[in-house]
Chains A and B, each alone.
Chain A
Amino acid sequence: MQAPQSVQPAHREANHHRVHKLKGKAVDLLYALFRYALVIGISFIIIYPLLMKFSIAFKDKADIYNPTIYMIPVHYTMDNIRMAMQILDYFPLLGNTLLFVVVTTVLTTASCALAGYGFARFSFPGSNILFALVILTLLVPTSTLMVPMYLHFRSFDIMGIIHLFTGRSGINLLNTYWPSMITSATAIGLKAGLFIYIFRQFFKGMPKEIEEAALIDGAGGVKTFLRIMLPNAVSPMITVILFCFVWQYNDTFFTSLFMSEIALMPTKVSSLAAQANALLPGLLGVGGGSGVKADPNHVAMIIDTGILLAILPLITLYMVVQRYFVESVERSGIIG
C-alpha cells in the first residue's frame, strides 16, 4: 500500500505539469497569432497606398468607371506611365535631382563628420557651448530663418568682399544650386545638427588608444582622421548618408524657397496636378484650348502614376540597403 500512495502524487504532479505546459503552449500560440495579426494589419496600412499606386499605374482608362475592379485591372496599359513621364520630363528630371541630391549628401556627410569628430575628440575653450549651439540649430523652426536666408542669397556677399571688387551689392544666387551647396558644405543644411550629433556620439565611443598609437607612429591629426577614424565610422556614415539622401530628395521647403524655378523632383511633383490638368488634353490628341478639360479621374490616375515614378528610385535604393539600415542605426550610437 505504501508504494502506490507515493506514486500517486508524483503522477499527479507530472500530469499537472503537462497541463501547465500545454496551457503555456496554447497561450504562446495565441500570442503568436495575435502578433501576426497586428504586424500584418499595420504593414497593410503602410503599403496599401503603394499597392494602389502600382495598380493604378497599369490600369487602362477604360477601367476607371468599372466598379467591379479592385486592385487588379482588367485592361493593362503602359499609357499612364508614358504620359506621366512626358509630363514630368522624367529622365532629365531624375538625373538632375539625383546629381543635386548626391552632391549635397556628400558635402553634408563630410562637413558633419568633420564637425562631429572635432566636438568628440578635442577640448578647446567653449567647445561645450558650441555643441549646445549645434543642438539649438535643430530646435529653431526653419521658418524663422526663412526670410533672412532668402534675402541673404538674393544678394549674396560675405563681409562685403564682392561689393569691394565689383561694386555691385552681391550676387543673386536664387534659382541656382549654390544655396543648398553652401548650406550643406557648412553643415547647417537640412537637419545637419542631428548628423553632427550622430557622428559625435560615435567618435566619442571609439577607444582613445587608437589615436594615441597613430600619434606615436607620426600621423598628424588630419591623417589620423582620414586614415583611421573615418574608415571605422562606416555605420554612422551609412545612417547619415541614407537619411540625408532621403530627406534631401523629399524636401520641398528649401527647394521651393531657393530653387523654385529649377526642375527638381519635389517641386515638380507638388505641381503635378496643375501640370497634368493643363497638358493631358494635348497628350491625348484632343487639342488644347480653354474649353477642353481632362477627365478628373484620368488626371488623378496620372498624378498617382507620377508620384509612383517619383518615389520609385527611393524604394529601389531602400530595397538594396534596408538590411544595413537598422544595424547601422544600432551601431551608430544614437542611443549613446
Chain B
Amino acid sequence: MRGSKLSLNHKRSWLGVAFITPWLLGFVFMFAAPLIQSVKFSFSKLNVDPSGFTLEWVGWSNFNNALFVDATFNRVLTESVRDMVLNVPMILFFSLFSATLLNQKFRGRVLARAIFFLPVILASNAISAAEASGLINLVGDATAVNELGQSGSQYNVMSMVMILSDIGLPLSFVDYIVDAILRIYEIITSSGVQILIFLAALQSVPGAMYEVAKIEGATAYESFWKITFPLVSPLILTNVIYTIIDSFTGSKVTQMIFTTAFTTQNFGLSAAMSWIYTLIISIVLIIVGYFLSKRVHYN
C-alpha cells in the first residue's frame, strides 16, 4: 500500500491540509478570485449582459473619476475615515473603563454585565435604517418639534465648552470631548465586543499580583497603571483592529460603493472606490499597528 509508505509526519501534514480544505476552497474561489477580479474591474469598464459580462480596459480613468470627477466621494471618504479615527480612541477608552468597572465586585454585577453586552446583539444596520426612516416620517409634526425642544433644554453644551476653555484646555481638545459626549450613545452601543475582550483579559490577570501590590502600599490608581494596563495592553491592538473592521459595514463609504455599483450600475467606478478605501484603511492599520506594537507589553 502506498499510504503506509508515507512517513507519519507526512501523513500528519496531509491530514492538516484535509482539515483546512473547506476553508482553502472558500479562500481560493470566494476570496482570492474575487479579489483579483476586483482589481481587474477597477481598471475596466464593465458591461453586464444576460449571460455574463464583458470588460473593456480603461486604465486609470476609474480612479481618476473617483478622486477628481465624482462630486461627493472625496468628502464622504475623508469624513468616514475621520469619524473612524476619532471614534477608535473614544471606544477604546470607554470599553477599557467599562471593563474595569464591570470587573469589580458589587451587587448587581451580573445584571450590569448583561445590560452592557446588550448592544452586541442590538447593533444592527437594519434597525438603525428603520429607525432613521421612522424619524424622517416624524419630522415636521408636533411630537418631533416637541422632542427637539426637549433635547435642547436637556443639556446645554455651550456652558460646558465655556467651563472647559476657562480651565485653559486647548479648544480642539474641548471640541473632541464635547463631540464625545454628544455621541455617547453611538460610542456605548459600538463598544460591546470590545468590553467583552477587555473583560476577559482583566479576568486573566492573576489576583496575587494585586495583593502583593496592596501589601507594598500601592494605591488602586497605581496598581491600575502598573499592573492592569500593561497586562491588557496587547488587547488594545486587537480592539483597535476589531473597531476598524466593525466600522466597515456601517460606514457611508460602503453605502456609497454599494449604490454606485447597484443603483448607478457603474461597477468599474465602484471597484476603484473600494480599492481606494481599502488602501487608506490598510495605511491606517499599518500606522496604528506599528506604533502600538512598539509600546505593547507582551508577557
Contacts and interface: CB of A to CB of B under 8 A. Distances in A.
A142 B254 contact: yes
Given A144-B274, A146-B274, A147-B38, A188 B30 contact: yes
A91 to B, nearest CB: 19
A335 B235 contact: yes
B30 A149 contact: yes
Nearest to B118: A46
B130 A147 contact: no
Nearest to A168: B51
Contacts of A139: 241, 245, 281-282, 285
A42 B257 contact: no
Interface stretch (B20-28, B63-71, B166-174, B207-215): B20-28
Contact of B133 (A39, A150, A267, A273): A273
Contacts of B254: 141-143, 253
A171 to B, nearest CB: 12
B23 A266 contact: no
Nearest to A184: B26
B126 A265 contact: yes
A115 B22 contact: yes
B137 A273 contact: yes
A243 B196 CA distance: 12
A268 to B, nearest CB: 8
Contacts of A76: none
A274 B130 CA distance: 9
Contacts of B43: none
A297 interface: yes
A114 B173 CA distance: 48
Interface stretch (A10-18, A98-106, A121-129, A281-289): A121-129
B138 A122 contact: no
Interface stretch (B85-93, B106-114, B222-230): B106-114
B130 A45 contact: no
- Which of A191, A196, A326 has its CB near the most chain B CB atoms (within 10 A)? A326
B35 A146 contact: no
Contacts of A152: 30, 33-34, 37
Contacts of A237: none
B248 interface: yes
A183 interface: yes
Interface string A42-56: 110111001000000
Contacts of A46: 115-116, 118-119, 188-189
B159 interface: no
Interface in B224-249: 235, 238, 241, 245, 248-249
B277 A141 contact: yes
Contact of B38 (A119, A148, A310): A148
B12 A122 contact: yes
B280 to A, nearest CB: 10
B277 A272 contact: no
Given A149-B34, A250-B126, A273-B134, A127 B16 contact: yes
A250 B123 contact: yes
B34 A148 contact: yes
B121 A315 contact: yes
Interface in B21-72: 22-27, 29-31, 33-35, 37-38, 41, 46, 48, 51-53
- Which of A43, A185, A188, A267 has its CB near the most chain B CB atoms (within 10 A)? A188
A60 to B, nearest CB: 15
B137 A300 contact: yes
B203 A297 contact: no
A42 B143 contact: no
A137 interface: yes
A45 B138 contact: no
Given A43-B116, A144-B35, A311-B121, A266 B126 contact: yes
Given A140-B35, A155-B51, A188-B27, A43 B127 contact: no
A266 B133 CA distance: 15
B133 A303 contact: yes
Interface string A29-73: 000100110110011011100100000000000001101000000
A118 B126 contact: no
Contacts of B110: 323
Contacts of A169: 51-52
B27 A137 contact: yes
- Which of B25, B136, B142 has its CB near the most chain A CB atoms (within 10 A)? B25
| Closest 5 pairs between A and B when the two form their complex, measured CB to CB | A122-B16, A186-B26, A118-B19, A273-B133, A148-B34
Interface of A: 32, 35-36, 38-39, 42-43, 45-47, 50, 64-65, 67, 111-112, 114-115, 117-119, 121-125, 127, 130, 133-134, 137-152, 155, 158, 169-170, 182-183, 185-188, 191, 196, 221-222, 225, 243, 246, 250-253, 257, 265-267, 269-270, 272-274, 277, 296-297, 299-300, 303-304, 306-307, 310-311, 314-315, 318-319, 322-323, 325-326, 329-330, 334-335
Given A266-B124, A272-B133, A322-B113, 12 more contacts: A118-B16, A139-B285, A143-B270, A146-B270, A146-B274, A148-B37, A151-B48, A188-B30, A269-B127, A270-B129, A303-B137, A330-B204
Interface of B: 12-20, 22-27, 29-31, 33-35, 37-38, 41, 46, 48, 51-53, 98, 101, 104, 106, 108, 110, 112-127, 129-131, 133-138, 141-143, 146, 184-185, 188-189, 196-197, 199-201, 203-204, 235, 238, 241, 245, 248-249, 253-254, 257-258, 261-262, 267, 270-271, 274-275, 277-278, 281-282, 285
